[in-house]
């Protein structure tokens, strides 16, 4: 019986998965994880309401060597944003909020940097990346993992984030505003964001293995370790998330549940039991562009429109509307794609942080259903990946060569009393530079995993070399001085543009206070 059932499943899979053979996709995934040094990947394809492909490849952890399966839990990161907006839509249907309600209606003490924006900021503004904040601005309040800033403090500190753009003029991806949206859900419902997501969305949808918070999955064995490249080779790193930022990226899920989520969405937000969770009016609103995004005239899918809806990126691919989002944490990235009029859903979950890997899989499957001849996306992204790595390696080598040269230079260097001490940023808090036996050290008080060496680079600039080499976020630390030659302030920026934007060192305005 078992052999017959297996044969039946394979035949059904091949029948439904007629656009690209199961064997071809298996081989592509195996070659992809090898090319981009991804320890494990799980992939799901939903077509016409049926899961026609659901497999795991590689291992969920280089430490345990246990296999990656469709049931292996992965932090889906910013793919959580679609759940946050679905939660808001449910509350809107219940008459408990309107998308154009002012945020201060629910959070009266909440403030933005500009008083006008404080007064005019709406729920819709929170989840469309148009509040004026820059790319990833404020992320250091919860990123990387292990920060100590509570939600209340983060919400208070938003008022110190000087906007990068004028209000509602530019779409710049930002996580902090989604955290604020999560607090609105909390205030209205009386439930934590994670409770609301699990009880009001996951349970009725049938996502039986998923969690709204990393902390709730601590006892689950079948979950990944994250992996990040260190010295050119993937190594296991902690896979967790600050509870403060759950509404921006806190969900753990797997291929089985995420294809269930995809089916629910493409079925008009109706559960398998026939329950309508979101009205047609609000479902349509979620998938309408609220903030356009400029794009190149020539692109691989002849895309004519592109923008952000409510928790989703919206575009057209070869004339078909595409609903998509990605998610990224240190050591893991995910991609979720829907093409509703083709009844097609593609989910890729990985335990490495290379987005080129999920793009390779998604684009290949998508092309097959769009009738596009194989474009060898693996080759395209492998070349791009190699070029990017070479550029980053070159930038790092040049930076540390200059560090080495300056250390040998016998010209006058800064005395410790000129710069050692505490530097304070209004929204991030204190950064301490200290003198140690073997040199200088840095530690960020509200994010103590951010600690490392302080290496002289030039007369007024140091290079911060973080202890955790998986961060790939080494940064310049540049001082300004008073007339007595003592540091009064500092600015930071990553040594490379390749650094994850959530390491938003460039948004810090550090003043020396001690």
Complete DSSP assignment for 147-190: ----HHHHHHHGGG---SS-TTT-----SHHHHHHHHHHHHHHS
Asked if residue 97 lies in contact with residue 188, where contact means CB atoms within 8 angstroms, the answer is yes
| 84-to-93, 176, 178 alpha-carbon distances in Å | 14, 13, 8
Same domain (yes/no): 359, 406: no
Confidence at residue 238, expressed as pLDDT on a 0 to 100 scale: 80
Instruction: Tell me which of 80-84, 87-91, 438-442 is least confident.
Output: 438-442
Q: By the 8 A CB rule, do 213 and 50 touch? A: no
- The predicted model scores a pTM of 0.94
Task: Check whether residue 349 and residue 207 sit in a common domain.
Answer: yes
In a domain, 381, yes or no: no
Three-state DSSP class for residue 403: helix
Q: Grade residue 156 by pLDDT with cuts at 50, 70 and 90.
A: very high
120-150 burial by CB neighbour count: b if 16+ within 10 A, else e? Answer: bbbbbbbbbbbbbbbbbbbbbbbbbbebebe
Name the band, by pLDDT with cuts 50, 70 and 90, for residue 412.
low
Tell whether the model's pLDDT for residue 16 goes beyond 70. Answer: no
Q: What is the pLDDT of residue 12?
A: 44
- Spatial neighbors of 483 by CB under 8 A, at least 6 apart, are none
Give yes or no for a contact between 53 and 13, defined as CB atoms under 8 angstroms apart.
Answer: yes
Domain boundary among 330, 351, 375: 375
Say whether pLDDT at 37 is over 70.
Answer: yes
* Boundary of a domain, candidates 375, 399, 424: 375
Q: Is residue 380 part of a domain?
A: no
Given a cut of 60, is residue 11 above it in pLDDT?
A: no
Same domain? 126 vs 208: yes
How many structural domains compose the chain?
Answer: 2
Q: Can you give the pLDDT at residue 344? A: 98
CB 498 within 8 Å of CB 484: no
The whole-angstrom separation of Cα 70 and Cα 73 is 8
Specify whether the backbone of 164 is left (phi greater than 0), alpha (psi in -120 to 50) or beta.
alpha
Q: Are 37 and 380 in contact (CB under 8 A)?
A: no
Tell me, yes or no, whether 456 and 426 share the same domain: yes
366 plus 487 within the same structural domain = no
Domain-located, residue 247: yes
Structure tokens at 186: 């909390």
Query: Is the pLDDT score of 208 beyond 80?
Result: yes
Q: Which residues does residue 97 pair with via DSSP β-bridges, in sequence order?
A: none
Is 120 inside a domain boundary? yes
Q: What is residue 6's three-state secondary structure?
A: helix
* pLDDT higher than 50, residue 13: no
Same domain, yes or no: 176 and 275? yes
User: Of the given ranges (9-23, 51-65, 88-102, 277-291), which has the lowest mean pLDDT?
Assistant: 9-23
Query: Within a 13 Å sphere around the CA of 111, how many CA atoms are in the beta-carbon half?
Result: 11
What's the helix, strand, coil split of the chain in %, to 5? Answer: 35, 25, 40
Q: Are residues 426 and 496 in the same domain?
A: yes
Average pLDDT in the 263-282 region? 96
Per the structure, the complete domain to which residue 460 belongs is given by 389-512
Q: What are phi and psi of 283, to 5 degrees?
A: -65, -45
SS3 category, 327? strand
Instruction: Give the model's pLDDT for residue 1.
Output: 37
| Residues 189 and 213 grouped into a single domain | yes
**343 Cβ neighbours under 8 A, 6+ residues apart:** 46, 47, 48, 49, 266
Q: Is the pLDDT of residue 442 over 50?
A: yes
Q: How many residues does the chain have?
A: 514
Q: What are the CA-CA distances from residue 275 to residues 268, 269, 324 (Å)?
A: 10, 8, 24
Span 296-305, pLDDT tens digits: 888 999 999 9
If asked whether residues 84 and 128 sit together in one domain, one would say yes
Query: Are 74 and 192 in the same domain?
Result: yes
Tell me if 133 sits within 8 A of 177, measured CB to CB.
yes
Give pLDDT, residue 6.
Answer: 44
94 burial type by CB count under 10 A (0-12 exposed, 13-18 middle, 19+ buried): exposed
Structure confidence by residue, pLDDT tens digits, 90-133: 999 999 999 999 999 999 999 999 999 999 999 999 999 999 99
Q: Six-digit token pair at 403? A: 């560090």
Residue 456 predicted with pLDDT over 50: yes
Instruction: Tell whether 352 and 402 lie within a shared domain.
Output: no
Same domain flag for 175 and 324: yes
- pLDDT tens digits, residue range 470-505? 999 999 999 999 999 999 999 999 999 889 999 999
Across all residues in the chain, what is the average pLDDT?
94
Which pLDDT belongs to residue 410?
62
Note whether residue 302 is domain-resident. yes
Q: Domain of 413: which CATH number?
A: 2.40.128.50
Q: Domain boundary residue among 375, 404, 420?
A: 375
Inform me whether the pLDDT recorded for 226 exceeds 90.
yes
Task: Establish if 397 belongs to a structural domain.
Answer: yes
Specify the range with the lowest mean pLDDT, choosing from 34-43, 61-70, 118-127, 235-244. Answer: 235-244
Indicate whether 304 belongs to any domain. Answer: yes
Q: Has residue 319 been placed in a domain?
A: yes
Q: For position 221, which CATH number holds?
A: 3.40.710.10
Could you list the beta-strand ranges (E) of 340-474: 344-350, 421-425, 429-436, 439-444, 451-456, 461-466
């Amino acid at each position: 019986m078992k052999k017959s059932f297996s044969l039946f499943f394979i035949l059904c899979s091949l029948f439904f998965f007629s656009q690209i053979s199961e064997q071809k996709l298996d081989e592509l995934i195996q070659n992809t994880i090898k090319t981009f040094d991804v320890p494990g990947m799980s992939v799901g394809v939903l077509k016409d309401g049926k899961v026609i492909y659901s497999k795991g490849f590689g291992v969920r952890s280089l430490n345990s060597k246990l296999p990656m399966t469709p049931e292996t839990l992965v932090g889906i990161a910013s793919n959580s944003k679609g759940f946050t907006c679905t939660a808001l839509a449910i509350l809107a249907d219940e008459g408990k909020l309107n998308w154009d309600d002012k945020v201060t209606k629910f959070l009266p003490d909440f403030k933005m940097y500009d008083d006008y924006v404080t007064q005019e900021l709406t729920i819709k503004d929170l989840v469309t990346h148009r509040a004026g904040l820059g790319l990833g601005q404020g992320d250091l309040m919860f990123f990387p993992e292990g920060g100590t800033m509570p939600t209340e403090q983060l919400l208070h500190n938003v008022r110190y984030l000087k906007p990068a753009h004028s209000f509602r003029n530019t779409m710049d991806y930002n996580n902090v505003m989604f955290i604020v949206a999560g607090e609105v859900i909390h205030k209205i419902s009386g439930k934590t964001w994670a409770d609301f997501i699990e009880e009001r969305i996951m349970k009725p949808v049938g996502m039986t293995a998923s969690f709204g918070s990393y902390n709730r999955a601590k006892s689950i064995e079948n979950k990944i370790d994250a992996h990040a490249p260190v010295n050119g080779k993937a190594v296991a790193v902690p896979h967790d998330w600050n509870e403060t930022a759950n509404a921006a990226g806190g969900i753990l899920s797997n291929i089985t549940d995420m294809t269930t989520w995809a089916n629910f969405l493409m079925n008009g937000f109706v559960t398998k039991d026939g329950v309508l969770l979101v009205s047609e009016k609000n479902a349509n609103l979620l998938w309408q562009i609220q903030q356009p995004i400029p794009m190149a005239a020539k692109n691989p899918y002849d895309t004519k429109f592109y923008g952000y809806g409510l928790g989703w990126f919206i575009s057209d691919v070869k004339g078909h509307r595409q609903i998509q989002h990605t998610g990224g944490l240190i050591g893991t990235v995910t991609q979720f794609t829907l093409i509703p009029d083709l009844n097609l859903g593609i989910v890729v979950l990985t335990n490495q942080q290379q987005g080129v890997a999920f793009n390779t899989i998604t684009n290949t499957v998508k092309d097959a259903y769009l009738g596009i001849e194989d474009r060898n996306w693996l080759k395209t992204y492998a070349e791009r990946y190699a070029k990017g790595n070479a550029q980053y390696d070159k930038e790092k080598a040049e930076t540390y060569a200059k560090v080495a040269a300056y250390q040998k230079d016998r010209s006058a260097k800064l005395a410790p009393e000129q710069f050692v001490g505490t530097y304070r940023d209004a929204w991030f808090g204190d950064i301490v530079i200290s003198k140690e036996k073997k040199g200088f050290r840095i530690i960020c008080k509200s994010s103590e995993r951010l600690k490392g060496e302080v290496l002289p680079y030039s007369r007024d600039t140091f290079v911060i070399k973080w202890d955790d080499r998986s961060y790939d976020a080494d940064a310049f630390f540049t001082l300004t001085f008073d007339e007595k030659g003592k540091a009064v302030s500092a600015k930071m920026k990553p040594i490379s543009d390749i650094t994850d934007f959530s390491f938003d060192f460039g948004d810090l305005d550090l003043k020396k206070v001690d």
